[in-house]
Structure 1
């Protein structure tokens, strides 16, 4: 799809990536790389869903990112071919896992781990992994739960107990296990507390807020999957300028071509699947924003 659009001169710009730190442990390298990424992104990830994060990161780093059906046991895939930067995450109702995987794969892209070939993997947020995985996990933890921001948030809690952990995990949209691991890594809680609190679930965190509705919405969106907004907008632009048919837009978005034609050309005259000169700023184009 990227190649097809590039053939009509619709290309995704590839901005320079931050340099991977060479000094210190892999955990320190991952954290430092995440802080550089935070500066480039310019906004906090706290409370932002996986799809919205993907849209931000597509703009910042020139990515194509989507949640799609992947083979069993495969959580994510990353690849920097030199012509495009790709991140795929698996469709799953475990939305906090999908969000962590998205950040983990971004860590691989920025560290240059996925340059020679696509890197497909089962992601686990522990440090008992291969060297590149240690760095990618440290990157994801720092990016999703920034040290300085998290320390400030923690001080707002009079007492750091299991209930506070549930509140923190929901506020940062990570699993209680990931939050407990992060708090232990920052030497805020003991290893015993980490082990005990890691048994908590995201559902428990959602119930703790008193409004579990968003938990179900996030799970549904993660399980349904989502397409690359950046790639979709390129395809839509190519269509409305008459360069491609509606079928490539359908391929990018996963939508039915006839439904797309109804969006672009409401009314009885929607049988032709070719472009009709719709304005590039029409409401149809805006319909593809997450």
Structure 2
């Protein structure tokens, strides 16, 4: 035990020597007395978890490194990651890895505090059959788990409901943020985290499909390296893992039994525009995705598929009298949203005095002082006695 403490103390001293002109200056920087720091470095006193977190923060290292000397796994782009199109500039791999690291650092802090988000067991791998068959089978397993957890059919969930279901049932945390042009999502998983980063997107149906596609990658354990999803026309995926993830998303968002129940009588003779529009609106997918799914299930022929896929999502909502839903979902798809479980965990640690605000501020991409003013009502200025007249509502 003494050896472990000494090794940790050596690494703390290394941080101090690197970032501060003196131990007294370092003690002031992390908010403890010089006497406490001296006693901790001499072994007469133990560093608290919060103090170790402050040391790690000052030295731009992790607490895990201070305690063990091990550098935790960090997102690295998969070898197959490519630019979105031949005309696009090369991916800035360092920037993408740093973006993912912004979120994965939160997992490190919560793990240190013994408050890591729960990671339910993933489905057992079943590699038999084609990628299409594997994707459909995985989707059925996912549907069973969602039903068992009391999650309603996915057609009833907006994007926030989908992200909540991913976290609750599969332990997959979802962030929505701005990504470089042409990229739609990043996915990474380890033994301690499962993360999907979605790009804000003007086409909400595409954003929704991308989320479920990325969930398929996680459930199939495809994302051991950081996976980068570039914009691609439907049906053009060539790699087996991408074919499987597409098949998974189509089957989960548009389950065969649900589609058959929703179809009007008389198919496959014809499917008119109002009936098709109703399917698109009800299942919250694009006309292209719906037409491809109906064709894959043998419910329409190729001519009908080609005719129906030319409709637009907005047009289908107009025909169905659901433009209000279209507008609301379009607005929501442009909002940046952090992973709720990570925010909740870090805020709880701050409120309990086990962490500073810095990890939460880093996750949210905000300044510490700005965040403190939002969270601490006492930071607001007191009303002046000199003010007269009617009281003014303050939100």
Shorter-normalised TM range:
0.7 to 0.9
SS of equivalent to 1:121: strand
Contact 1:55 1:228 (8 Å CA) reproduced:
no
Q: What RMSD over aligned residues (CA atoms) do the two structures have, in Å?
A: 2.2
SS of equivalent to 1:223: coil
Cα distance in 2 for partners of 1:157, 1:233 equals: 51
1:202 maps onto 2:310 in alignment? no
Query: Match of 2:196?
Result: 87
SS of equivalent to 2:260: helix
1:18 maps onto 2:123 in alignment? yes
The Cα of 1:155 is off from its aligned counterpart by 4.2
Gap runs ≥5 in structure 2: 1-105, 382-395
Specify which structure has the bigger relative contact order, considering alpha-carbon pairs within 8 angstroms and separated by 6 or more residues: 1
Q: Higher mean Cα deviation, 207-216 or 154-163?
A: 154-163
TM-score, normalization: structure 2? 0.64
The Cα of 1:225 is off from its aligned counterpart by 2.3
The Cα of 1:264 is off from its aligned counterpart by 3.8
Deviations 1:107-128 (A, max 9, x none): 111111112x111122543254
Contact 2:122 2:170 (8 Å CA) reproduced:
yes
Closer/same/farther in 2, CA of residues 9 and 179 from structure 1, 3 Å limit = same
Closer/same/farther in 2, CA of residues 30 and 8 from structure 1, 3 Å limit = same
Gap runs ≥5 in structure 1: 272-290
Query: Match of 2:332?
Result: 221
Cα distance in 1 for partners of 2:206, 2:266 equals: 26
TM-score, normalization: structure 1? 0.85
Cα distance in 1 for partners of 2:335, 2:183 equals: 17
Query: Match of 2:177?
Result: 68
Aligned with residue 7 of structure 1, among 90, 95, 112 = 112
Contact 1:100 1:174 (8 Å CA) reproduced:
yes
Contact 1:92 1:223 (8 Å CA) reproduced:
yes
Aligned with residue 160 of structure 1, among 246, 267, 271 = 271
Larger radius of gyration between Structure 1 and Structure 2 = 2
Deviations 1:202-253 (A, max 9, x none): 1112212324122122112111222111111111211221122334333334
Closer/same/farther in 2, CA of residues 123 and 136 from structure 1, 3 Å limit = farther
Contact 1:67 1:89 (8 Å CA) reproduced:
yes
How many pairs were matched up? Answer: 269
Query: Match of 2:3?
Result: none
Alignment of 1:116-155 (within 5 A): 117-124=225-232, 125-126=234-235, 128-155=237-264
Cα distance in 2 for partners of 1:262, 1:147 equals: 51
Contact 1:184 1:194 (8 Å CA) reproduced:
yes
Query: Match of 1:249?
Result: 360
